[in-house]
Structure 1
Amino acid sequence: MAQRFHDVESFPDELKGGVVAIGNFDGVHRGHQAVLARATEASQALGVSAVVLTFEPHPRTVFRPEQPVFRLTPAPMKAAILGQLGFDAVVEQPFDKAFSAQSAEEFVTAILCNQLGVRHVFTGYDFHFGKGREGNPDFLMKAGDRHGFDVTLIEQFQDENAEVVSSSRIRAALALGDVAEAAGLLGYRYAISSEVLHGKKLGRTLGYPTANMSLPPETTLLPGIYAVRFRKADGTVYDGVASFGRRPTVDDDNAALVLETVLFDFSGDLYGETCTVSFVSRLRGEEKFDGLDELVAQMKIDEAEARAVLGHLTPLSPLDRAMTFEPAG
């Protein structure tokens, strides 16, 4: 598990002098993983720490607060994924307009050299930093020469169709409910982690008790019914079917979006636990039924379809195995 540090000032001396991958890495998708894999390989070859320097909140949200970014991987999930990929630490540097106003040379000297003691930097080919984005790849390469650290720039990663893999492309797929497309770009099933909350407990009376979760309002996942994998806080995994939306049969059209998951073959109390839902397949859109009897009949159909989908599920990658399947051993 990667250690999390909420600013560079708290970064410990024993981890300094390592390989540092720099970027937002929202989603930690296959393109990001190409950068990150090169960084961990270099750290192992040098026998030094592997560190990610990222920024919180997402810079786009700072500059456009009226349009907050739909985060594919909020900070805790991002750190967990980076730990699975072999990183020792994640530095979540606070990002605000004052931080963005520092010069590129100040970023290099204060952050990379003085605080992190960087030995080798890995980042994307289009990384810009500092006031007015004056720090470009050429600037970073020359700064490395001046300060004594290496720089490796990674080119865009393209999928099997020669299209660039990007966080915005994944968000677009999720907005269409295409969780299979998103999984192909991420290299693992799209997942959310959240605390299980008390709901109206209507599902319990219908014979389908649900684990209710609240998602951020900027989430643009298409409402509907999904076949999912549900991971409890202790790592235990269950198959399930989840409804994301406004529950049109029992609530009005202005109700808040909620994620309700029915766990198969489970009984127990999950309230207060932070659990993870991995989205495998979208079964259908939301529907408004004439009554609860029709709703329950459809829920039985959804359960059968979800069990069929999940019964033959195989990992997409080692990362997907770690996130979506039973823990090894």
Structure 2
Amino acid sequence: MERWHGTAEVPQDFGPSVVTIGVFDGVHRGHREVVRTAVAKGRELGLPTVVLTFDPHPSEIVRPGSHPPLLTTQRHRAELLAAEGVDAVLVLPFSLDMSRWSPEEFVRTVLVEALHARAVVVGANFRFGHRAAGDAAALEYAGGRYGFEVVPISLKGPGGPEGLSRSEPSAEPTRVIKAASDNRFSSTRVRALIAGGVVAEASVMLGRPHRVEGVVVRGDQRGRELGYPTANVETVPFAAIPSDGVYAGWLITDVDKPEKSFRHPAAISIGTNPTFDGTERRVEAYALDRDDLDLYGTHVAVEFAARIRDTLKFDSVEALLDRMADDCKVAREITDEAA
């Protein structure tokens, strides 16, 4: 899969193409339905499929300080999109100037001149252009002018279809997808579940375990002294980190080197280590039954399967060790079942 940063990197002879647009943070099940529709449309037309996304998150530019917690890094997002059959990802460097583009300027500059779109697949609640002035109906109007088809996709939740109403025009009947437990697929909802530590339900909406990534740095090395050496992960900026607690999941080593990467069942602690009066919030993962991993300075990922318990302050190290042994047993049961 090709990856371009800005329209200047798109080959001059590229196109025509099928395009889908969005931040796609998390590449959750709703996102994947949109992307799969675009890929199917591309195959139908014999054209490559391009995902058009943005970095940094537009909200940080439009409303500084409002950057949402991120469910995926750009690299992981690209990997997930490639797995769906996408041919290329165009990452637009979102800026204040770009935020002021009119819907017409966005369509002409990116969809028409850079990507030569023949079809555009978007969520039916898609908005674009200065002050979100453009919507799916405006995109369809532009499509009629520039010669591309618009395929809107609707997410259905407890309140019924959102986005295009039945009275609004569309290039084809709006597709409807329904989330688990009748909840709308939404990156915002997934973030809320993760913030509350409800990682198992977040996994259902994502279609895979939630992941945070970062570099392993030196901590207090107390875990090694206690017989549970942990990887102290300095997570990437804005990562969506679950609430404090102990979790079952996986530690993925060398995540940036697929040929070396390995997925270890793990017990994961998030918090300040109150038993030792810690003050710094950390993400620490213990690869079950492994005390021989040298991970300092390497890029790892931590995936969350289920929450085991809240963070607790123990009266003694012995009580902590007893509970850690129980935690590891539960983590092993959960990860074995997931496998």
Please, what TM-score do these two structures have when normalized by structure 1? 0.89
Aligned match of 2:294? 269
Aligned match of 1:191? 211
Matched, 1:260 2:284: yes
Contact conserved, 2:71 with 2:239, CA < 8 A, in 1?
no
The alignment's C-alpha RMSD in Å is: 1.7
* Runs of 4+ residues over 6 Å off in structure 1: none
Aligned match of 1:89? 88
Question: How big is the shift at 1:265?
Answer: 3.3
Task: Give the secondary-structure state (helix, strand or coil) at the position aligned to 1:20.
Answer: strand
Which residue of the other structure, out of 266, 281, 295, is the alignment partner of 2:320? 295
Question: How big is the shift at 1:74?
Answer: 2.5
> Structure 1 residues 99-108 or 55-64, which shifts more?
55-64
Contact conserved, 2:70 with 2:238, CA < 8 A, in 1?
no
- Deviation string, structure 1 residues 50-108 (Cα, Å, up to 9, x no partner): 21101111112222322321111122221111111111221111112210101111111
Question: How big is the shift at 1:292?
Answer: 2.3
Aligned residues: percent identity?
Answer: 36
Contact conserved, 2:216 with 2:299, CA < 8 A, in 1?
yes
Contact conserved, 2:194 with 2:202, CA < 8 A, in 1?
yes
Aligned match of 1:227? 248
Q: Which protein has the bigger strand share?
A: 2
> Structure 1 residues 184-193 or 126-135, which shifts more?
126-135
In the aligned structure 1, how far is the partner of 2:88 from the partner of 2:302?
A: 25
In the aligned structure 2, how far is the partner of 1:198 from the partner of 1:84?
A: 34
Aligned match of 2:227? 207
Question: How big is the shift at 1:313?
Answer: 1.2
1:117-196 equivalence runs, <5 A: 117-156=116-155, 157-196=177-216
C-alpha change, 1:160 and 1:307, in structure 2 (3 Å) is closer
Paired residues, what number?
A: 311
Contact conserved, 2:62 with 2:99, CA < 8 A, in 1?
no
C-alpha change, 1:14 and 1:231, in structure 2 (3 Å) is farther
Aligned match of 1:110? 109
In the aligned structure 2, how far is the partner of 1:239 from the partner of 1:218?
A: 21
C-alpha change, 1:14 and 1:291, in structure 2 (3 Å) is farther
Question: How big is the shift at 1:44?
Answer: 2.0
> Structure 1 residues 213-222 or 121-130, which shifts more?
213-222
Structure 1: runs of 5+ lacking an equivalent: 315-329
Question: How big is the shift at 1:116?
Answer: 1.4
In the aligned structure 2, how far is the partner of 1:313 from the partner of 1:240?
A: 12
> Structure 1 residues 109-118 or 215-224, which shifts more?
215-224
Question: How big is the shift at 1:16?
Answer: 2.8
Contact conserved, 2:199 with 2:242, CA < 8 A, in 1?
no
